[in-house]
Amino acid sequence: MKTRDKIIQASIALFNEQGERNVTTNHIAAHLGISPGNLYYHFRNKEDIILSIYDEYARNLLLETFPKASDDVKPLDAIILYMDAVFQAMMKFRFFYSNLPVLLAKNPLLREKYVEVQTFIADRVSNMMESLRTADMIRFEDDELADLVSILRIVNTFWLSFYQTQNMDNEIKESVFFEGVLKIIAILRPYATEAALPDFIKARDMYKQRFEDSLVAA
Amino acid sequence: MKTRDKIIQASIALFNEQGERNVTTNHIAAHLGISPGNLYYHFRNKEDIILSIYDEYARNLLLETFPKASDDVKPLDAIILYMDAVFQAMMKFRFFYSNLPVLLAKNPLLREKYVEVQTFIADRVSNMMESLRTADMIRFEDDELADLVSILRIVNTFWLSFYQTQNMDNEIKESVFFEGVLKIIAILRPYATEAALPDFIKARDMYKQRFEDSLVAA
């Protein structure tokens, strides 16, 4: 692995473990056994490292996790698989999401890239809702779509933060993703058509089972 | 005002304006024209100030904003007025919410108090949903209640953070509260009974109007 990549990988690990705020560029260099000067040859400062983490890793992951439309993937499965994948991607960069407004306020270029990705994601989630409606699985008025998409995205973006702030124990285990997906299904369920309700219940029961299995396994 | 209170009020203002992370106890003392020693006489460190801000101000505000049950306040108005009041309370302590998981991770006593308040709020929101159901305004299965309450609370807690991370302009104006309340109404709307739907549409249109008026006024 090249030094630049080593710095990025070590930073992700240290930020997640110790909190981005508690980790300096000197900590990162010491952790890798390189000189601070060597680190500064690759990155100007910590903000520059965070920008690269988002731009080169998190961003691509978020854009690539969109399931391709196909005859094999049903629209309900598409949205569930997508949300599941996003929760897992967020877990890899959890330091980023637990600190989001603060990190973006400090770094206008990061904000620009983040806002660009968010606009793209909003469009895709909106298209998924339209597909579900076209498949007669959910029903909503046109004037409800924008709010529905926002609500899905708020829960998706802040579920891990919410979870971490509801208990004295804030460790994130695999079970937390499954709970997150269950919240997404719960948002959609009241929109379900009568014909599609069994599919929603089935999806919910499947994730409930995964949730319970992951608790036993932990 | 006593010195202790002056320190708290100045800290709230500085944290909100400049971000809690960028404000030290020395900044707070200099801003008030007092010596750091005088500040340390009242508070051990910055975490201690934040704990007092939450415990003496934010906490009471969150617990007091609950509309009292009465014959005059309809259940739908009760939940809307409550969410509106909470958004406004959060605005006063916005530094706290834009940094929530990080601040709680640093301060176990703060986490303890926060979790206690959250448990209380979850119960009250749950009771409000039961009242709406008893009044035949919304319908849900018993097994849907916990998720519905979580979704309302996630959107309530993180709406300001979400708003701040969706645009290049992250200034919070009055219009943002009204948008937040509109999201709460949007979460409840698909649960509305046919008889109550006009009430939901009316509440939505009222907040849409407030939202538009606040944009013109700004």
Give the per-residue SS3 of A23-86. Answer: CCHHHHHHHHCCCHHHHHHHCCCHHHHHHHHHHHHHHHHHHHCCCCCCCCCCHHHHHHHHHHHH
- What is the predicted pLDDT for the residue at B69? 58
Average pLDDT estimate for A112-132: 92
Mutate to test the interface with A, among B95, B137, B161 (most CBs of A within 10 A): B161
pLDDT in tens, chain B (218 residues): 899 999 999 999 999 999 999 999 999 999 999 999 999 999 999 999 999 999 888 787 777 776 665 667 788 888 888 888 888 888 888 899 888 888 998 899 999 999 998 998 899 899 999 999 999 999 999 999 999 999 999 999 999 899 988 887 777 788 888 999 999 999 999 999 999 999 999 999 999 999 999 988 87
Question: What is the predicted pLDDT for the residue at B164?
Answer: 87
Q: Is A205 on the interface with B (CB under 8 A)?
A: no
Max mean pLDDT range (A28-32, A52-56, B76-80): A28-32
Give the pLDDT score at A67: 65
Higher model confidence: residue B77 or residue A46?
Answer: A46
H/E element, B29:
helix B25-32
Cα(A125)–Cα(A149) distance, integer angstroms: 6
Structure-token match 């005059």, residue found: B72
Tell me whether A117 touches chain B (CB under 8 Å).
Answer: no
Distance (Å, whole) CA B101 – CA B104: 5
- pLDDT at position A87 is 86
**In Å, how far is B179's CA from the nearest CA of chain A?**
10
Over range A115-133, report the average pLDDT.
Answer: 92
CA dist B218 and B213 (Å) reads 9
Does A92 or B35 have the greater pLDDT score? B35
Q: Does B166 touch chain A (CB under 8 A)?
A: yes
Give which of B87, B19, B44 is closest to A104, Cα–Cα. Answer: B19
Q: Could you give the CA distance from residue B163 to residue B86 in angstroms, rounded to a whole number? A: 16
Indicate if the pLDDT at residue A70 is higher than 80.
Answer: no
Question: Which of A150, A171, A193 is the best residue to mutate to test the B interface, defined by the most B CB atoms within 10 Å of its own CB?
Answer: A150
pLDDT of residue A61: 74
pLDDT at B25: 97
Residues of B with Cβ-Cβ distance to A106 under 8 angstroms: 19
pLDDT band, residue A1 (cuts 50/70/90)? confident
Does residue A69 carry a pLDDT above 60?
no
A-chain CB neighbours of B190 within 8 Å are: 140, 144, 190-191
For chain A, the average pLDDT equals 90
pLDDT at B87: 86
| Inter-chain residue contact B166 with A105, CB threshold 8 Å | no
For chains A and B, CB pairs below 8 A equal: 128
Mutate to test the interface with A, among B158, B159, B182, B211 (most CBs of A within 10 A): B158
Angle (CA) B115-A93-B151 rounded to 5° is: 40
A27 touches chain B (CB under 8 A): no
Selected residue of A54, A166, A211 to mutate for chain B interface (largest B Cβ count, 10 A): A166
Whether residue A109 lies within 8 A of chain B, CB to CB, comes out as: no
pLDDT at position B61, please? 74
> A7 pLDDT exceeds 70?
yes
Q: Do A167 and B115 touch (CB under 8 A)?
A: yes
pLDDT tens sequence across A176-210? 889 999 999 999 999 999 999 999 999 999 999 99
CB within 8 Å: B105 and A164: yes
The minimal CB distance from B168 to the residues A112, A155, A157 is found for A112
Q: Do B170 and A105 touch (CB under 8 A)?
A: yes
Mean pLDDT, residues A107-129 taken together: 92
pLDDT band of residue A98 (cuts 50, 70, 90) is confident
User: C-alpha angle B12/B59/B104, rounded to 5°?
Assistant: 75
